[in-house]
Amino acid sequence: MADWAGYLGLMLDGALVTAKLTVLGCALALPAAFAAGLGRLSRVSAVRTVSVAYIEFFRGTSIFVQLFWAYFVLPLMGVTLTPLQAGVLALGLNVGAYGAEVVRAAVQSIGREQHEACIALNLTRWQSLRHVLLPQAAVVMVPTFCNNAIELLKATSVVSLISLSDLTFQAQVVRSQTGSTALPFLTVLVIYFTYASLISLGMKALERRMTRGLDGLRT
């Protein structure tokens, strides 16, 4: 029983890796989502095609396959990634593809009159996006992004299969060393759930902040 402190330490190390993966994954997913989501609305057909191909490819194949591909096949093409880099790359691009659809839907949900007002004010496309459409669309995106972030958190468990010592991996280590199964897995489940709750709380606070002053504007 005295060893429990040590094993708990091991799992907390794993929890740190999981947190790092989640944060870095989100940091990649967010720009990817905006780039592809806005790219899909572009007037240039080449940009649209590339965005659609990216979105459909990453949504159509499983995160698991993408991760294995990044880790095992990319080195054959001369790009060697550490497990952490492969994990962040696959997670970020995968969730980014889902996020892209959220961005597109949110921008399209802004009323026609806003577009027309931008034209009437003679704003350039970039100005109307930057100052009129995105500030309103961002509010619509937050709740769905919250779900995406939690999906990303849950998907991080898959990196344990390419030998990255995240939370799930450490649970397996503890299981194989102690032979005890219920305790490590329950601990890990509780830690994941705590993370998910934290993300959800943080996003709710962000949503409240962003909608401040917007009441009554929405019909």
Partner 1 sequence: MEWDWEFVREIMPTLLDGLRITLLATLLGSILAAAAGLGFALLRRSKSRPVARTTGVVVEFIRGTPLLVQLYFLFYVLPELGLLLSPLTAGVVGLGLHYATYTSEVFRAGIDNTPRGQWEAAKACNLTPYQTWRHVILPQAIPPMIPALANYFVAMFKETPLLSAITVIELMSEARSVANSNYRYLEPMTLVGVLFLCISLIAVPALHMLERRFRPTR
Residue 100's Cα: distance from chain center in Å? Answer: 11
Distance CA 103, CA 65 (A): 25
On whether the CB atoms of residues 39 and 103 are closer than 8 A, the answer is no
On whether the CB atoms of residues 95 and 36 are closer than 8 A, the answer is no
Distance CA 80, CA 11 (A): 28
The distance of closest approach from Cβ of residue 160 to partner 1 in the complex, given in angstroms and rounded to an integer, is 7
Q: 146 CB contacts (<8 Å, ≥6 apart)?
A: 199, 200, 203, 204, 207
Cβ-based nearer residue to partner 1, 85 or 147:
147
Cβ-based nearer residue to partner 1, 30 or 67:
67
Distance CA 89, CA 67 (A): 8
Distance CA 48, CA 65 (A): 25
The two structure tokens encoding residue 114 = 């806003």
Cβ-based nearer residue to partner 1, 128 or 160:
160
The distance of closest approach from Cβ of residue 217 to partner 1 in the complex, given in angstroms and rounded to an integer, is 26
Cβ-based nearer residue to partner 1, 127 or 181:
181
The distance of closest approach from Cβ of residue 40 to partner 1 in the complex, given in angstroms and rounded to an integer, is 16
The two structure tokens encoding residue 170 = 């450490």
The distance of closest approach from Cβ of residue 201 to partner 1 in the complex, given in angstroms and rounded to an integer, is 12
Cβ-based nearer residue to partner 1, 36 or 118:
36
In the block, which residue shows the tokens 């961005």? 103
The distance of closest approach from Cβ of residue 216 to partner 1 in the complex, given in angstroms and rounded to an integer, is 26
On whether the CB atoms of residues 30 and 57 are closer than 8 A, the answer is no
The distance of closest approach from Cβ of residue 98 to partner 1 in the complex, given in angstroms and rounded to an integer, is 10
Distance CA 26, CA 96 (A): 8
Cβ-based nearer residue to partner 1, 61 or 108:
61
Enumerate binding residues for partner 1 (CB under 8 A). Answer: 56-57, 59-66, 68-69, 72-73, 76-77, 150, 153-158, 160-161, 168, 171-172, 175, 181-182, 185-186, 188-189, 192-193, 196-197
